[in-house]
Homo-oligomer: A and B are copies of this chain.
Amino acid sequence: MVLQEVLVAGKWRNSKNPVGTFNTINPAAKTELPESYPVSSLEEVLEVIEAGKKAADIMRSISPGKIADFLDKFAENIEARTEELVKLANIETALPKEPRLRSSELPRTIDQLHQAASAARERSWCHAVIDTKSNIHSMYGALGGPVVVFGPNNFPFAFNSVAGGDFAAAIAAGNPVIAKANPGHAGTTKILAEAALEAVISSGLPESTVQLIYRTKPDVGLQLVSHPFIGATGFTGGRAGGLKLKEAADKAGKPIYLEMSSVNPIFILPGALNERLDAIAAELYGSCSLGAGQFCTNPGLLIIEKNTGGENFIHTLAKLFGENKPGTLLSSSGPKNIADAIEVLTKAGAEVVVGGKEAEGSGYAFSNTLLKVPGEVFIKNPALLQTEAFGTVSLIITAKNVDQMVEIAKHFEGNLTGCIYSHTGGKDDPAYGKIEPVLRAKVGRLLNDKTPTGVAVVSSMNHGGPYPATGHPGFTAVGIPASMMRFAALHCYDNVRPHRLPEELRAKNPTGKMWRLIDGEWTQKNI
């Protein structure tokens, strides 16, 4: 059996003494793909860490401009391999080529890399603060060790451990990356790593700036994120795995940023339903079924008032869920995981309105499923009734009145997003005023009259939220430059001689455009 090569210390090579192998699958055909990948040994992981640490040491003396050049070049290399990437990602994930992979996710990924390049080049992200009287200077800088990135299965490009948001942010902040591929799309990740290595070489970055392994035994993963040489870890994936990594990293005092789970509650207030029931139902169905429901921001909880409007809404939405064919799931474990989650929900008091079983067909699929539960039942069993089902599965909570909606919101765990649909004329404003303060504290991104599934890559975005949606409410995984702050340390220079300061802290503004806080005033000027 020929195993695919790993990327270690700037070289593609056979994995040394792999402790296992695995194949990727084609979820649309339920077949195994021919390529086999190694499970890396602890020894290999330690080699990767050593090489990453060396790269981190060298990167400190490499100019941000050069790092930006790498990111731009990498983005171009990806673009040049569009057809190859789209083809393989489609086979490995069953996500549609159009519009999803080719016209949406890949351009977004390329754009993210260019945005990260611009931020690195412009340098305002590092938040330079200079107090001339005390001769103290500070800025955010690289962590001094490589960043480990674990990518999720649901975005083969935009959140890939090579090329995705965490990767772009970590590199732009001056850190090398150790990528742990998502085994679901190992082949796609390998192509991206090839494109990255070419850009590493052509832009003159340290050879170990980007390294790639595909899989490790779980305990080796724990050793990886807690190793003394590691700068930090970015993880996007399921809660169980994320919490184990968090425990190991926390114990070692290593920063870890996790995006783990979210049911993204949506309140649809009575005035809104009365005004535009059909439009809202159609919009929500679209959001719930996007990517076969396998979005971090998928609306898993819908809260409505128990009245005629509410009944009509359930009826309309159930029709959409029932009439439409479910999308193909990302992996062979998808249907079972969804069935398990639905079992938890129903045992906790929810009732299946439509769907609820594995779908027939050539690929892995599960019927679009809508459940409902009365507000008072939810309040009695909120933990189980917030179980995430990773697919087109939503639970409608029917609340007696607005006060019960507030009570429901008080029982939410931390989420990435929360939304309130309300009457355009203001009829729902009193209810909004009661619900919003509770919901605000539970979510990273609060929406009005809009589904949460589109995560715009803009500076104001927050793709984060309170635990257990993530591990810390102050950081975002999307939105540059804010996402870079996860992979930076605060570096203060006290009485350090001027020629020894980093360029960003010297008298002359190094880019002429960089914003710095000098003696309490934000300015682009020199001192």
Residues on A facing B (Cβ under 8 Å): 57, 60-61, 124, 129-131, 134, 136-138, 140, 143-145, 246-247, 250-255, 414, 417, 432, 436-437, 440-442, 444-450, 452, 456, 458-462, 464, 466-468, 471-476, 479, 482, 485-486, 488-497, 500, 515, 517, 520, 522
Contact = CB atoms under 8 A, between A and B. Distances in A.
A413 B463 CA distance: 33
Contacts of A472: 255
A72 to B, nearest CB: 18
B474 A140 contact: yes
Contact of A460 (B137, B140, B475, B515): B137
A250 B250 contact: yes
A502 to B, nearest CB: 10
B488 A447 contact: no
Assembly stoichiometry (copies):
2
B460 A129 contact: yes
Nearest to A58: B437
B458 A131 contact: yes
B131 A473 contact: no
26 contacts: A129-B460, A131-B459, A134-B456, A136-B460, A138-B482, A140-B474, A144-B440, A145-B441, A246-B250, A247-B251, A253-B414, A253-B471, A254-B467, A432-B500, A444-B490, A445-B493, A446-B493, A448-B494, A450-B494, A450-B495, A459-B520, A460-B492, A462-B490, A466-B489, A474-B490, A476-B492
A134 B517 contact: no
Nearest to A417: B494
A520 B119 CA distance: 11
Contact of A495 (B60, B448, B473, B493): B448
A482 B491 CA distance: 12
Contacts of A246: 250
A497 B60 CA distance: 44
A386 to B, nearest CB: 14
Contacts of A449: 495
Nearest to A497: B448
A493 B130 CA distance: 31
Nearest to A492: B462
B458 A57 contact: no
B460 A138 contact: yes
Contacts of A460: 129-131, 134, 136-138, 492
Contacts of A444: 489-492
A389 B486 CA distance: 33
Contacts of A476: 490, 492
Contacts of A461: 136, 138, 492
Contacts of A482: 129, 138, 490
Given A456-B134, A460-B138, A446 B491 contact: yes
Contact of A490 (B130, B136, B456, B473): B473
Given A129-B460, A459-B129, A494 B445 contact: yes
A74 B137 CA distance: 30
Contact of A60 (B437, B452, B479, B520): B437
Contacts of A474: 140, 255, 485-486, 488-490
B520 A515 contact: no
B447 A494 contact: yes
Contacts of A517: 459
Nearest to A446: B493
A464 B490 contact: yes
Contacts of A138: 460-462, 479, 482
Contacts of A448: 494-497, 500
A255 B254 CA distance: 14
A496 B253 contact: no
Given A464-B490, A475-B490, A57 B459 contact: no
Contact of A473 (B414, B417, B489): B489
